[in-house]
């Protein structure tokens, strides 16, 4: 299985279509997030994903009833993965899981729910300011454990958290990992990065890779090279 989901971080439909066509044969799936979904809507999201597995990165966070309604609203897209903030609490997480189970009973497709723990843009000072108990690493473990207890299928985490979370949460929990840079590619705004093979070795289930593929002169070749390095 190719573990790479390519992040198509754009609002532009033509660009997303073009990238999807170029890289789909060489990746395990496509990640479309809030910016594309809000700009282009459900129908164009379905169109860009085509037959490729879809990672819908909407980072839902609201009261349980509203989050359940949101899961129901996007269920027709049959995403493989959907993200939800673990800090939304147990009732919200359980409501999302219940809705995913109901959607699966209707369609036969079970959406895998991934918890977002602590955004990597937040440091210990930011956590303190919003009343969350740090240090950030402890909060990540607390929220990942809550996500698993509530029936989520996995969490998003940094490559540097993978080994500890894998040891703590067991072999079946999905650890989906951004912040990946193949040797030689620009780091950009990512602060701490790891190579694809190294992250898989540490215990990552899936990798999210954006610009090293989408900004490459030949995105298909870049995706192929990453797949080959993992084979």
Applying CB under 6 A, the residues found at the interface with ligand C5P are 7, 9, 33, 120, 156, 178-179, 188, 190, 208-212
Q: Using CA atoms, how far apart are residues 112 and 172, in angstroms rounded to an integer? A: 12
Question: How many residues are recorded in the chain?
Answer: 231
Shortest CB 176 distance to ligand C5P, Å? 9
Of the pair 111, 199, the CB lying nearest ligand C5P is at: 199
Closer by beta carbon to ligand C5P, 83 or else 145 = 83
Which residue has the closest beta carbon to ligand C5P?
Answer: 210
> What are 5's strand-pairing partners?
29, 208
Q: How far is the CB of 178 from ligand C5P (least distance, A)?
A: 3
Taking the C-alpha atoms of residue 91 and residue 63, their distance in angstroms, rounded to an integer, is 8
Ordered alpha helix ranges (H), the chain: 13-23, 34-49, 64-74, 90-107, 124-129, 136-149, 162-169, 196-202, 211-214, 219-230
Cα 204-143-208 angle, rounded to 5 deg: 30
User: Considering the complex, what minimum distance in angstroms separates the CB of residue 185 from ligand C5P?
Assistant: 9
Shortest reach from residue 143's CB to ligand C5P, in Å: 13
Comparison of 9 and 102: residue with beta carbon closer to ligand C5P: 9
Catalytic pick from 31, 59, 112, 191?
59
- Of the two residues 145 and 185, which places its CB atom closer to ligand C5P in the complex? 185
84 closest CA partner among 113, 121, 111 = 113
Tell me whether residue 78 is one of the annotated catalytic residues.
no
Active-site residues, by number, are: 59
């Amino acid at each position: 299985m190719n573990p790479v989901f390519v992040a198509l971080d754009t609002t532009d439909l033509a660009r997303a279509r073009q990238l999807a066509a170029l890289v789909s044969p060489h990746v395990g799936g496509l990640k479309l997030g809030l910016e594309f979904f809000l700009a282009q809507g459900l129908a164009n999201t379905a169109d860009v994903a085509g037959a490729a597995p879809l990672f819908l990165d909407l980072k839902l966070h609201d009261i349980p009833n509203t989050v359940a309604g949101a899961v129901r609203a996007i269920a027709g897209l049959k995403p493989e993965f959907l993200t939800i903030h673990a800090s939304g609490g147990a009732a919200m997480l359980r409501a999302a899981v219940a809705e995913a189970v109901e959607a699966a009973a209707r369609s036969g497709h079970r959406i895998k729910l991934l918890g977002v723990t602590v955004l990597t843009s937040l440091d210990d000072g930011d956590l303190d300011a919003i009343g969350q108990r740090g240090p950030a690493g402890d909060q990540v473990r607390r929220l990942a454990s809550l996500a698993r207890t509530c029936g989520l299928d996995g969490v998003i985490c940094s490559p540097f958290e993978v080994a500890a979370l894998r040891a703590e949460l067991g072999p079946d929990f999905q650890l989906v990992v951004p912040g990946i840079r193949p040797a030689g590619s620009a780091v950009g705004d990512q602060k701490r990065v790891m190579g694809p093979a190294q992250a898989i070795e540490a215990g990552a289930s899936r990798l999210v890779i954006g610009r090293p593929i989408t900004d490459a002169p030949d995105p298909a070749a870049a995706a192929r090279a990453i797949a080959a390095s993992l084979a």
